[in-house]
């Protein structure tokens, strides 16, 4: 994957409908449900044994960066527009972008005690996206990090979401994102209408390498 340089203001690129996004190449990333046997409790493994995990099958991703920020535009099909807890039996739709904080973190287990992962977590009912850190399944915590921005719209049975953060060095709870560097990245989507929450989600099975290019004015 390549991030394309676009010298535009934060508020411009945060808009998923901004025309400039049309110039950015798109990658279709297939998603699969998280494996049943890795769900952390016996209750969940039993209750979901015969249920579909991971209702969303693909996410279309575009990545851009400016001199100050990096932007991920995610688009996925979801005929159920879940923006809250509905009648009490659904959950808000959500999406996350995952990064290893230090190179080797395992994706399938959301990191490990020694190798944490950093997630940017957007959920349709949250005022702002959350910066999360996980050291393994069931260990997600909110963590201090550079501010995250998000803007989302739901049109024609699809979510359109842009998540953004300032470029910069990382720390123990935030991934380093610098021009000229590569970073591993993965994606997850929760279909709230299918009661997906927590570890019940669709995810991209492998880390993908994202090149945050160095050139300027590529477009």
Partner 1 sequence: MSEAAKGARQLALVFDLNKCIGCQTCSVACKVLWTRGEGEDYQWWMIVNTVPGRGHPKDWEQMGGGYREGVPQPGRLPKREEWGGGWDFNYEEVFFGGKGQEAYLRPVGPEPTWGPNWDEDQGAGDYPNAYFFYLPRMCNHCSRPACLEACPRGALYKRDDGIVLRDEERCRGYQFCLEACPYKRVFFNFARGISQQCILCFPRVEQGVAPACVRQCPGRAVWFGYLDDEEGPVYKLVRLWQVALPLHPEYGTQPNVFYIPPLAPYPYNPDGTLDKENPRIPIEYLERLFGPKVREALSTLRQELEKVRSGGTSELMDTLIAYRWHDMFKPFDRDPVETSWS
* Residue 116: other Cβ atoms inside 10 A: 24
Per-position x/- string for 109-138, each x denoting binding to partner 1 as judged by CB under 8 A, each - no binding: ----------------x-----------xx
Per-position x/- string for 137-156, each x denoting binding to partner 1 as judged by CB under 8 A, each - no binding: xx-x----------------
Q: How is residue 47 written in tokens?
A: 């209750």
Binders in 13-42 for partner 1, by CB under 8 A = 39-42
**Residue 88 interacting with partner 1 (CB under 8 A):** yes
d(CA 48, CA 133): 26
3-state SS class at 197: coil
Q: What is the total count of residues that contact partner 1 (CB under 8 A)? A: 21
Choice between 48 and 207, CB closer to partner 1: 48
Instruction: Evaluate the CA torsion angle 26, 83, 144, 187 in order and state its sign.
Output: negative
Could you tell me the CA-to-CA distances from 116 to 33, 96, 111, 113, 171 in Å, in that order? 21, 15, 5, 7, 11
* Residue 7: other Cβ atoms inside 10 A: 13
The correct pick among 43, 127, 156, 215 for binding partner 1 (CB under 8 A) is 43
Binders in 181-210 for partner 1, by CB under 8 A = 195, 197-199
Binders in 156-175 for partner 1, by CB under 8 A = none
Choice between 70 and 134, CB closer to partner 1: 134
Cβ atoms of 63 and 42 closer than 8 Å: no
Query: What is the binding site for partner 1 (CB under 8 A)?
Result: 39-44, 46-47, 84-85, 87-89, 125, 137-138, 140, 195, 197-199
């Amino acid at each position: 994957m390549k991030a394309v340089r676009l010298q535009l203001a934060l508020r411009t690129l945060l808009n998923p409908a901004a025309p400039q996004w049309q110039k950015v190449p798109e990658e279709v990333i297939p998603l699969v449900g998280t494996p049943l046997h890795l769900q952390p409790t016996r209750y969940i493994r039993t209750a979901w044994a015969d249920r579909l995990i991971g209702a969303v099958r693909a996410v279309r991703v575009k990545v851009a960066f400016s001199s100050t920020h990096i932007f991920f535009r995610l688009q996925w099909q979801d005929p159920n527009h879940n923006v809250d807890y509905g009648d009490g039996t659904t959950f808000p739709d959500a999406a996350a972008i995952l990064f290893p904080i230090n190179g080797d973190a395992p994706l399938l287990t959301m990191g490990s005690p020694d190798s944490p992962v950093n997630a940017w977590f957007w959920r349709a009912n949250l005022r702002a996206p959350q910066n999360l850190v996980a050291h393994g399944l069931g260990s997600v915590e909110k963590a201090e990090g550079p501010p995250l921005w998000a803007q989302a719209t739901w049109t024609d049975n699809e979510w359109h979401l842009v998540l953004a953060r300032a470029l910069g060095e990382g720390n123990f709870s935030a991934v380093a994102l610098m021009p000229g560097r590569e970073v591993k990245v993965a994606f997850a989507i929760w279909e709230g209408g299918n009661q997906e929450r927590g570890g019940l989600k669709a995810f991209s099975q492998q880390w993908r390498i994202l090149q945050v290019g160095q050139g300027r004015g590529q477009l």
